[in-house]
Structures are given as C-alpha cells and as structure tokens.
Structure 1
Amino acid sequence: MTAVHVQRKAFGSLEVLGDIRFTVAPGQTLAILGPSGVGKSTLLRIVAGLDPDFEGRVRRPERLAMVFQEPVLLPWRTCLQNLTLVHPDLTEAQAMDLLRRVGLEDKAGVFPGQLSLGQQRRLALARAFAGRPELLILDEPYVSLDEATAAEMLSLTRDLLREHAPATLLVTHSEAEARSLANRVMRLDGSPARLVEERPFRPREREALA
C-alpha cells in the first residue's frame, strides 16, 4: 500500500501544495486531475522520492518506476540496451519479450533518436515495467501525441496494468484518459493546491471508453 500525506510543499515563500492525503493499493490506478500549474507533477516527484523537501510523510514500496512527460532515455544506447542496462537482472530474452509487447521488437538495435515520439514513449513504458514495479507513476505519458497514437498507448498501458497489477498514479489533463485507466480520480485545485474531490469511477464509465 502506498500512503501519502503532504502537509505542505513550498518553493521559497511560494506555497504550492497544502494538505493532501490519499492511498493507492496494488492493482488500483488513481488518476490525478487539476489545472495546469496546480502542482500535480510536484506531487508525483514527492511520491517518487525525487523531492524530499516537504512537510509530511510518504510510505511507498521499494520497487517503483516513473514515466515522465518527456521520454527520459539513454540516447547513446540501443532500445534493447535501454532495458538491459537499467535493469541488469533482466535477461536479453525477457527484454526482447517486453519490446515485442510494446511493438518495438524490430527496433531492438535502433537508438532512441531514430524513433518517433510515440515509439519513444512505448520504450519508456517498457522500461518502467521491466523492473516489475510495485508502484508505477505516470506523469502525462500521452501528452503531445496525435489522437491515434494516444489511443494505442492507452490500450497498451491498460493491458500492461492488467497483467502486472502495480499500484499506479496517473497525472493527466484528460478525463477520458483517466476513465480509461483509473479506478478512482482525485482533483487538485486552489493555491496552495488541495484535494477538492476524490471519487471512484463506476464500471460502466470505464467500459464505455475501453
């Protein structure tokens, strides 16, 4: 179980996050919505342990992975090496299977700079799941993709989530993306940002977008 209680987060005198508390269990996906600049990505960095400068407490599992808004890949390494070097216990056969799952099996020897943005995002997703994360953090992973590519990525992510069942946090501006992937949604608003709504998605809401 991931349990988060952020009492306060500030950058100097600017307070950006107020009192925010939530949990997410294995197999659950919690979507975080809110206006641009409200602090959603800041909250994710706190949960991931990338920003320890806050008041509050986060309990997270040991194995976690984060997919950023921009694919953070090793440009001087091939697609296959982007998996095997980051996860040394991953065999080449396992890495190739993951590349196959995300439709990049024929790109194993290609460098990230030779891929389209959609393919780079697929590789970033494969790398995240390569570590068998107990907690998966997705920070607007479909931003800047065309509609068809975003739909393909959503379907792929949904399949991988069902297969691996990590606890998942998804930041998105899209209600449709949230309904497609999440069991629950919470909204942040205000200055400093606070939790203004948290509710489950009804099954029929999700099925309509599956």
Structure 2
Amino acid sequence: MISVDIIAKGFGTTPILKDISFEVSKGECVAILGQSGIGKSTLLRLVAGLDQDYEGVVRRPDQMAFVFQEPTLLAWRSAIDNILIVHPEMSEPAAREMLDKVGLAEHTALFPRQMSLGQQRRLSLARAFAGRPELLLLDEPFASLDGSTAAAMIVLTRRLIRERMPSTLFVTHSTDEANALADRTLVLAGTPATVVRNEDRREKQREKAS
C-alpha cells in the first residue's frame, strides 16, 4: 500500500536523509526509531506529502490521518465538534461512539483546555481513527506523558490499529514504545540519516516459537 523511496532530502545545503526505501503493507505497523534530531519527523512529513521538496518517490493512499506530537486541537470547539468538523460526513452518534472507544464518553462537551494532556491525546487519536484512514501517521504521540498514561495510550492505540487495520507509520525515539506497538522497526542513523537496521518482531517471534 505504501511505498517510500527517498533518494535525498536536505534543508538548504545541509543533507538530512538519503537512500531510504521501504514499504508498509496493509494493517502493518512500522516504527521509525532514532535519536532526537535524526530526521524522523522530516521523513514522516515527506510520507504525508506535507513537504514535497526532496528527491525520490512516495506512493500512499488518499485516505490518510496524521497525529502530530502536539494534539493540534481546535481550542474553541468541544471534543465532539473537534471530530465532526474534520469529518462532516459523520453522524453525531458515530462521533460519540468514537469518543467512547478512547474513554472520553463523559467528556464530549469539554473544550481542549479543560482536558488533561492525556485526554487531549486521546481526542486526537479518536479524530484520526474516525475517518477510517488507510494510512495512519503517528509522530511521537506519547511524548511528554507520564509512564502510566503513556502505557495506557499505547494499549489503546494498539487496540484501535488492530480493530481498524490501517497501515501505520509510527515515529519514536523509544525502543520500548517501538517494541510495544510496532510489527517492524526501521532504525535511522548517520549524517545524513539512512536506514541502518530493519527489525521484524514477527520473524523473531516465529523463530522463538520454532
């Protein structure tokens, strides 16, 4: 479904990414792992089509959702309106059901400023999944959360991915997060950054089972 072939990406005269090629199949969750500042978010923006100034080709479906590091919610709209404005074709009962799936059934009328960061992240996740995306892009969606809240968010995200089966590309600098959520991990390193390791957890699990 998703095919990425980045030959080169830079900012001005500074090279950032080079020779990055991979595919993401339907329902697969792939983590992009690497140190802060290595170019993970830049790669995600290229895949999303938000930045088209690069050498290479990216093929992706039209039905796509992006969950950014910050919740990027409409502060002047209620939780349910944050979903309905983005998805005008959606009925109010369906939006309420989506909020219920992320544990916000009792908070539909709250505004983002009245919510904790964890609740805002849940709302962002609900908004993304509400459109039933074929491709889901997650840019460090658990950053700045305490350990227990982040763990609960990972469990919730994994459940929604398994239920809706989008192809998922997930950026993180945490090996634990990658292991908890992803089927496969691509490790970026170097200057400019490239994929130095491709780890498939499913293959390791099959090897252990045998």
TM superposition score normalised by structure 2? 0.96
User: Residue 33 of structure 2 corresponds to which residue in structure 1?
Assistant: 33
Deviations 1:170-190 (A, max 9, x none): 111111111111111110111
Instruction: Give the corresponding residue for 2:111.
Output: 111
In the other structure, the counterpart of 1:79 is: 79
Please give the residue correspondences for 1:4-153 in structure 2 after superposition, counting only pairs within 5 Å.
Answer: 4-153=4-153
Quick one: which amino acid aligns to residue 162 of structure 2?
A: R
Structure 1 150/204 Cα, relative in aligned 2: closer, same or farther at 3 Å? farther
Flag the 1:80–1:176 CA change in 2: closer, same or farther, 3 A.
same
Code of the residue aligned with 1:67 in structure 2: it is V
Tell me the CA shift for residue 204 of structure 1.
Answer: 7.3
Q: Distance in 2 between matches of 1:60 and 1:27?
A: 14
Q: Say whether residues 1:188 and 2:188 are aligned partners.
A: yes
Residues of 2 paired with 1:177 and 1:204: CA distance? 17
Q: Which runs of 5+ in 1 are unaligned?
A: 206-210
Give the 3 Å change call, closer, same or farther, for CA 203–96 of structure 1 in structure 2: farther
CA deviation digits over 1:84-130, x for unaligned, max 9?
A: 01000111000000100101111111101110000000000000001
Aligned partners of 1:135, 1:116: CA distance in 2, in Å?
Answer: 27
Q: Which amino acid is 2:13 matched to?
A: S
Q: Number of paired residues?
A: 206
Task: Give the CA deviation at 1:202.
Answer: 3.6
CA distance in 2, matches of 1:110, 1:199: 41
1:203 deviates by 7.1
1:146-202 deviations in Å (ceiling 9; x for gaps): 011001101100110010000000111111111111111110111100110112014
Show structure 1 runs of 4+ deviating over 4 A. Answer: none
CA RMSD for the aligned pairs? 1.3
* Alpha-carbon distance in 1 for matches of 2:90, 2:3: 29
Structure 2 unpaired stretches of 5+: 206-210
Q: Secondary structure at the match of 1:157?
A: helix
Once the two structures are superposed, what CA deviation does each residue of 1:13-45 show, in whole Å capped at 9, x if it has no partner? 001011100000111000110111110000000
